[in-house]
A and B are shown apart, each in its own frame.
Chain A
Amino acid sequence: MQHPHDGGAGDLLEVRGLSKVFGSLKACDNIDLAIARGEIHALLGENGAGKSTLVKMLFGSLEPNAGEIFWKGEPVVIGNPAKARALGIGMVFQHFSLFEALTAAENIALSLDRDTPIREIAARARDVSNAYGLPLDPFALVGDLSVGERQRIEIIRCLLQEPELIILDEPTSVLTPQEADKLFETLERLRGEGKSILYISHRLEEVKRLCDRATVLRHGKVVAHCDPGKETAASLARMMVGNEVVRATRPDAPLVAGTEILGICGLSRKPAGPFSIPLRNIWLKVHGGEMLGIAGVAGNGQSEFFEAVSGEALQDSADVIRIRGTSAGRMGINRRRLLGAAFVPEERLGHGAAPAMRLSENLLLSRFRTDARAFLGTLGVIRTGSTASAAKRIVAAMDVRKSGDDPEASALSGGNLQKFIIGRELDRQPALIVVNQPTWGVDAGAAAHIRQALIDLARSGSAVLVISQDLDELFEMSDAIAVMHHGQLSAPLPIAEATYERIGLLMGGADAAHAAAENA
């Protein structure tokens, strides 16, 4: 294993032997890391590798159990975030800490330690935003802003503290490819000024493009220090995961398209609440044996679309949604399920499953109507024997790890609960399944299992519609990809014609025809 570059005197930040233990879990084990001035340094690793824990120690949210931190050559103890900020370490989190009912300037004010008047903060925020190409209106209400704009508040808030090291945690997970490009410009400008950036990501192409050096973590340990420019995405992935990356297997050529299972004809929907996105004239067909992906950054109407297709929100006309030839637009979710459709929403706890209910009870949630004969008796009495054995069957089929015989849904980890929820639907062998974010927040092993299960379902002749923010996942699984932007859906691009660039342009709002003209 390489040692971080020698000559610690010039380094901005150096970490030696840093460790953190939670009970019996070694989240960070003897980590060495060095970041020079004016360097963009990547921190790579899968979910659970220890990146988050390491960074929390650098930012003062956690105390290390062992090891030392050196700042500009001097040993330091970073006891709390205020101390980190005082040293010159700033952090932009993946999950924003913003207040929707307050303005951008007020939000920034709340994170600064001093009592400066709002007007002054707004003026300084405007200066920073202009200087670094991060357009933002300080007096806009956060609730009205897009995700990309909200991230800019977080970045400006961080920059106002004048940090020398900026830690960014998965910043592009909420951006379109074009917005990500703008961010990279900003980061390169910062590097040019002599600031350093610690860039946490699992997106290998970005890291290769942007970062000068990388540290790879796996299971809490450093497995490599390298120059990402000299590596390939495959070699970086191998370092992160440890063996050949498991990719889902898909038949090379899509099967002959079967009959239309899902038909969406001119779906429009007015916004349901003050922060909802309207849907505008969506047309889509999914056939048996086909897997169609819908790409798009979160907040472009995916939830509204899912609710419209599932029947949680009814349409004005029955013909807008056709399931297996039947006009279903005025049918509620259970009648659509009786037509052979299954639905998996984005939110596991609180939507796809009831957290305080047991797995066998959560089985009933989506299947009491479709499986009434099996699971219910006279007067609606629940047949607990049947539900329990069905739950066991699903747990075995999807390899769900849990403690106890029939635990409450909230006791399962994200990946295991997602496996159960998808397994619950697959157990019915549905003709159509609509899934929103199948592997969000799910560990790599469970994610691969889920993707394979969906591919197998498509292969068996069912229609699969996957909505996902993860472009890699969609490229891996889909026969065609459509893009949702501001409530509108582009025409699907067959996978052979789809490139990251074209999809990225569509995600940013260019329409398919325009994109096609550009690439011709």
Chain B
Amino acid sequence: MLIAESILLTIATAATPLLIAAIGELVVERSGVLNLGVEGMMVMGAVCGFGAAFVTGSPWIGVGAGILAGAAMAALFALLTLGIAANQVATGLALTLLGLGLSGMIGEPFVGRSGTKMPVLDIPVLSDLPLVGRLVFGQDPIFYASILLVIGVSWFLFGTRAGLTLRSVGDNHNSAHALGIPVLRYRVLAVLFGGACAGLAGAHLSLVYTPQWVENMSAGRGWIALALVVFASWRPWRVVAGAYLFGAVSIGQLHAQALGFGIPSQFLSALPYLATIVVLVLISRNRRLTLINTPACLGQPFVPGR
């Protein structure tokens, strides 16, 4: 394998969890809900995915467990913010704190154990093509799922009536309610979908990225995913660009550390976080663009009737 090929592969592996979590949150925010708990849902997906795969020996069951864990956490969020109209920012933070704590507790017996890795695809001729072979035809199933997710979400949001309805709910939930659209139902489904995605992203971390469990394994990726949604102006294909950009930065700094440029490793490790800040600043500078693209009802609790 060429160096370029292996670098591209690692970038894809780094980008995939960011992409999946971000696309899920994009759907949630398009419906008008701000779920800051992505980090908590992701880390729960990681620990449950690892644990289930470890116990059963099947990474597929691990993936399923990760998805369910993410969705279960999201259900808790939905109960509070959509069921009783609690403050979305605080509840999202609570979800993250709970997720980090719970995952630490659940994951304790698994620390240091090596897990089952997700198998990669192996198509006879195609997977051996130079450069593109491994990249396009030799990846793990979750990578392919991530691409399908983006295609699916894009088609759903902009090509179907249900997607149009979802966008309308995020634009003006009072108007939607007046038209008889079940606002809360759309939001609950969106939130659960976002949770499932975050859980899947977490499972990718502990089953593909490195098949092991480490406390706080997500290391802020959930937050970066939130930033990606803003960066992408809530459009699916831009999320892909953002995720791969960040994947490149993450991998780049790892390689720079290995090459020993003389820059302290901590500075290089801080690059993805600093890059997130820079990207956010660049995107939010244009207030007009922000106002036009942001779902108008984002973060506002919906209480029908007045």
User: A274: which B residues are within 8 A, CB to CB?
Assistant: 288, 291-292
User: B296: which A residues are within 8 A, CB to CB?
Assistant: 100-101
Q: Is A109 an interface residue (CB 8 A)?
A: yes
Our pick among B171, B180, B287 for the contact of A99 (Cβ within 8 Å) is B171
Say yes or no: A100 contacts B171, CB within 8 Å.
Answer: yes
| In the bound complex, CA of A274 to CA of B290 (Å) | 10
User: B171: which A residues are within 8 A, CB to CB?
Assistant: 99-102
B146-180 interface code vs A (CB 8 A; 1 in, 0 out): 00000000000000010011011001101110111
Q: For chain A, residues 361 to 417, give those with C-beta under 8 angstroms from any C-beta of chain B.
A: none
Report if A110-B179 is in contact (Cβ < 8 Å); known contacts: A98-B172, A101-B167, A102-B168: yes
Q: Is B181 an interface residue (CB 8 A)?
A: yes
**B180 CB to closest chain A CB, in angstroms?**
6
| In the bound complex, CA of A273 to CA of B286 (Å) | 11
**A185 CB to closest chain B CB, in angstroms?**
28
Report if A115-B167 is in contact (Cβ < 8 Å); known contacts: A273-B291, A274-B291: no
User: B164: which A residues are within 8 A, CB to CB?
Assistant: 102, 106, 109-110
Q: Is A97 an interface residue (CB 8 A)?
A: yes
Q: For chain A, residues 267 to 303, give those with C-beta under 8 angstroms from any C-beta of chain B.
A: 273-274
User: A93: which B residues are within 8 A, CB to CB?
Assistant: 178
| In the bound complex, CA of A347 to CA of B179 (Å) | 26
**A141 CB to closest chain B CB, in angstroms?**
9
Say yes or no: B180 contacts A81, CB within 8 Å.
Answer: yes
Say yes or no: B288 contacts A99, CB within 8 Å.
Answer: no
Residue of A nearest to B290 (CB): A274
Q: For chain B, residues 262 to 306, give those with C-beta under 8 angstroms from any C-beta of chain A.
A: 287-288, 291-292, 295-296
**B239 CB to closest chain A CB, in angstroms?**
19
Report if A109-B161 is in contact (Cβ < 8 Å); known contacts: A98-B172, A102-B171: yes
| In the bound complex, CA of A99 to CA of B287 (Å) | 20
Q: Is A77 an interface residue (CB 8 A)?
A: no
Residue of A nearest to B160 (CB): A115
Residue of B nearest to A141 (CB): B292
Residue of A nearest to B165 (CB): A110
A425-454 interface code vs B (CB 8 A; 1 in, 0 out): 000000000000000000000000000000
Q: Is A82 an interface residue (CB 8 A)?
A: yes
Report if A99-B172 is in contact (Cβ < 8 Å); known contacts: A82-B180, A110-B165: yes
Say yes or no: A98 contacts B288, CB within 8 Å.
Answer: no
Q: Is A235 an interface residue (CB 8 A)?
A: no
| In the bound complex, CA of A73 to CA of B222 (Å) | 63
| In the bound complex, CA of A266 to CA of B172 (Å) | 38
Report if A102-B167 is in contact (Cβ < 8 Å); known contacts: A97-B178, A110-B179: yes
Q: Is A111 an interface residue (CB 8 A)?
A: yes
A114-142 interface code vs B (CB 8 A; 1 in, 0 out): 01000000000000000000000000000
User: B181: which A residues are within 8 A, CB to CB?
Assistant: 110
Say yes or no: B179 contacts A97, CB within 8 Å.
Answer: yes
User: A111: which B residues are within 8 A, CB to CB?
Assistant: 179
Residue of A nearest to B294 (CB): A101
| In the bound complex, CA of A479 to CA of B287 (Å) | 42
Say yes or no: B172 contacts A100, CB within 8 Å.
Answer: yes
Greatest chain B CB density within 10 A among A101, A109, A273 is at: A101
User: B176: which A residues are within 8 A, CB to CB?
Assistant: 97, 99, 110
**A278 CB to closest chain B CB, in angstroms?**
14
User: B161: which A residues are within 8 A, CB to CB?
Assistant: 109, 115
**A356 CB to closest chain B CB, in angstroms?**
14
User: B179: which A residues are within 8 A, CB to CB?
Assistant: 97, 110-111
**B94 CB to closest chain A CB, in angstroms?**
23
User: A273: which B residues are within 8 A, CB to CB?
Assistant: 287-288, 291
**B187 CB to closest chain A CB, in angstroms?**
16
Say yes or no: A110 contacts B168, CB within 8 Å.
Answer: yes
User: B287: which A residues are within 8 A, CB to CB?
Assistant: 273
Q: For chain A, residues 63 to 106, give those with C-beta under 8 angstroms from any C-beta of chain B.
A: 80-82, 93, 96-102, 106
User: B165: which A residues are within 8 A, CB to CB?
Assistant: 110
Residue of A nearest to B288 (CB): A274
User: A106: which B residues are within 8 A, CB to CB?
Assistant: 164, 168
Report if A97-B175 is in contact (Cβ < 8 Å); known contacts: A81-B180, A109-B161: yes
| In the bound complex, CA of A210 to CA of B174 (Å) | 32
A479-519 interface code vs B (CB 8 A; 1 in, 0 out): 00000000000000000000000000000000000000000
User: A98: which B residues are within 8 A, CB to CB?
Assistant: 172, 175
Residue of A nearest to B287 (CB): A273
User: A96: which B residues are within 8 A, CB to CB?
Assistant: 175
| In the bound complex, CA of A81 to CA of B296 (Å) | 26
User: A101: which B residues are within 8 A, CB to CB?
Assistant: 167, 171, 292, 295-296
| In the bound complex, CA of A102 to CA of B288 (Å) | 17
Greatest chain A CB density within 10 A among B181, B291, B292 is at: B292
User: A100: which B residues are within 8 A, CB to CB?
Assistant: 171-172, 296
| In the bound complex, CA of A109 to CA of B176 (Å) | 12
Greatest chain B CB density within 10 A among A80, A82, A110 is at: A110
Say yes or no: B291 contacts A99, CB within 8 Å.
Answer: no
| In the bound complex, CA of A80 to CA of B296 (Å) | 28
User: A143: which B residues are within 8 A, CB to CB?
Assistant: 292
Residue of A nearest to B170 (CB): A101
| In the bound complex, CA of A36 to CA of B60 (Å) | 68
Q: For chain B, residues 234 to 272, give those with C-beta under 8 angstroms from any C-beta of chain A.
A: none
User: A110: which B residues are within 8 A, CB to CB?
Assistant: 164-165, 168, 176, 179, 181
Residue of B nearest to A157 (CB): B179
**A103 CB to closest chain B CB, in angstroms?**
10
Residue of B nearest to A113 (CB): B180
User: A115: which B residues are within 8 A, CB to CB?
Assistant: 161
| In the bound complex, CA of A346 to CA of B123 (Å) | 68
| In the bound complex, CA of A260 to CA of B167 (Å) | 52
User: B174: which A residues are within 8 A, CB to CB?
Assistant: 97
| In the bound complex, CA of A99 to CA of B292 (Å) | 12
**B124 CB to closest chain A CB, in angstroms?**
43
**3 closest Cβ pairs, A-B complex:** A97-B175, A97-B178, A99-B171
Beyond contacts A100-B296, A101-B167: 18 other A-B pairs, Cβ-Cβ < 8 A, are A81-B180, A93-B178, A97-B178, A99-B168, A99-B172, A100-B172, A101-B292, A102-B168, A109-B164, A110-B165, A110-B168, A110-B176, A115-B161, A273-B287, A273-B288, A273-B291, A274-B288, A274-B291
Task: Show the binding face of B for A, using Cβ within 8 Å.
Answer: 161, 164-165, 167-168, 171-172, 174-176, 178-181, 287-288, 291-292, 295-296
Can you list 9 A-B pairs, Cβ within 8 angstroms, ordered by A? Answer: A97-B175, A97-B179, A99-B175, A101-B171, A102-B164, A106-B168, A110-B165, A110-B168, A273-B291
